[in-house]
């Protein structure tokens, strides 16, 4: 994965999704040789020269000012996540210092205290580095996976452990790919992250298809519809919480059911079964 190619393909994908009428330009009905706006149309909307924009779309962003990037972002109708990504990939990556992933004992104690909340600690490129028993009871026996395949990416695209209902899989998978691209911008120069993405593109045709569409969106709140082998359908709402004191970790991923709902009752049943199973082992 090449930085110049990523910048070029991202800009082309965003230009291709705009039609002249979307941005107030007249379309005279002639056959267009390219999907979406032409380079000269985009440059005119952004108030920059065609040569200037062409250099950027060819992957040469070193000399482009923040003001020009903002103007191009506005012309492309980029949202906040996409604009932040454009700024990051247009610059030379800073050296990326990787520290070993370590989970402090106090964080593990916190995980285990969530008796009604499945929770995971997620590393910089979606590694699942810690979890509580309820997360395993809800999502499946992912701890048995080899460490290099114990990632959210693998659970979504290659493993049967994440019990997502088929109707919600596409949205969840696309959201995950979109967030990986946010991480690619945030951790530029991280060879392990690049290797993970390249590995997933080779491993999964669905991942490769979604990656080629260049989605960019940070994971925030989301809802998952799961099919659990014991309780049936289960809707969980997820929140990704940053861990500023854990620079080697991406965040704490926590899931809850709506209070008073059938899913809350089902989650409580799973929790009781897990507690009974744990007691029987002691």
CA quadruple 15, 20, 24, 25: dihedral positive or negative?
Answer: positive
Each residue's pLDDT, cut to its tens digit, for the chain (282 residues) gives 677 899 999 999 999 988 887 777 766 555 556 668 889 989 999 999 999 899 999 988 877 899 999 999 999 999 999 999 999 999 877 655 555 667 888 889 999 999 899 999 998 888 999 999 999 999 999 999 999 999 999 999 998 888 888 888 999 999 999 999 998 988 887 888 999 999 999 999 999 999 999 999 988 778 999 999 999 999 999 998 888 766 666 789 999 999 999 999 999 999 887 765 555 555
Distances (CA, A) of 10 to 70, 185, 219: 15, 12, 19
Beta-bridge partners for 121: 130, 252
d(CA 133, CA 127): 17
Q: How far is CA 162 from the centre of its chain?
A: 16
In order of their start, the domains of the chain are: 3-89 (1.10.260.40), 105-281 (3.30.450.180)
- Considering only CA atoms, which of 272, 201, 271 is closest in space to residue 236? 271
Residue ranges of the alpha helices (H) in the chain? 3-16, 39-46, 50-57, 66-75, 80-89, 105-113, 133-139, 152-157, 166-186, 191-203, 205-212, 262-281
Q: How far is CA 212 from the centre of its chain?
A: 14
- Considering only CA atoms, which of 210, 250, 187 is closest in space to residue 3? 187
- The DSSP H or E segment spanning 224 is strand 222-228
Beta-bridge partners for 236: 224
d(CA 151, CA 208): 17
pTM of the model: 0.86
């Amino acid at each position: 994965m090449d930085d110049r190619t990523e910048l070029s393909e991202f800009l082309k994908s965003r230009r291709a999704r705009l039609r002249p009428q979307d941005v107030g330009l007249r379309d005279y009905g002639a056959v267009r040789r390219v999907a979406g706006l032409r380079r000269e149309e985009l440059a005119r909307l952004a108030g920059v020269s065609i040569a200037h924009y062409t250099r950027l779309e060819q992957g040469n962003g070193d000399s482009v000012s923040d003001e020009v990037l903002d103007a191009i972002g506005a012309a492309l109708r980029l949202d906040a996540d996409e604009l932040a990504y454009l700024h990051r990939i247009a610059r030379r990556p800073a050296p990326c210092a990787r520290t070993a992933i370590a989970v402090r004992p106090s964080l593990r104690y916190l995980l285990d205290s969530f008796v009604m909340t499945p929770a995971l600690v997620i590393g910089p490129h979606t590694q699942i580095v810690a979890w509580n028993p309820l997360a395993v009871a809800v999502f499946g026996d992912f701890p048995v996976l080899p460490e290099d395949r114990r990632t959210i990416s693998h659970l979504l695209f290659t493993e049967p452990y994440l019990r997502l209902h088929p109707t919600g899989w596409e949205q969840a998978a696309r959201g995950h790919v979109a967030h990986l691209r946010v991480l690619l911008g945030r951790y530029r120069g991280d060879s392990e992250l690049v290797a993970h993405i390249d590995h997933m593109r080779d491993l999964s045709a669905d991942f490769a298809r979604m990656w080629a569409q260049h989605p960019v969106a940070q994971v925030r709140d989301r809802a998952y519809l799961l099919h659990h082998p014991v309780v049936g359908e289960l809707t969980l709402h997820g929140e990704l919480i940053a861990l500023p004191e854990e620079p080697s970790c991406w965040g704490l991923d926590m899931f809850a059911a709506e209070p008073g709902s059938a899913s809350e009752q089902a989650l409580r049943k799973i929790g009781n079964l897990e507690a009974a199973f744990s007691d029987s082992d002691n």
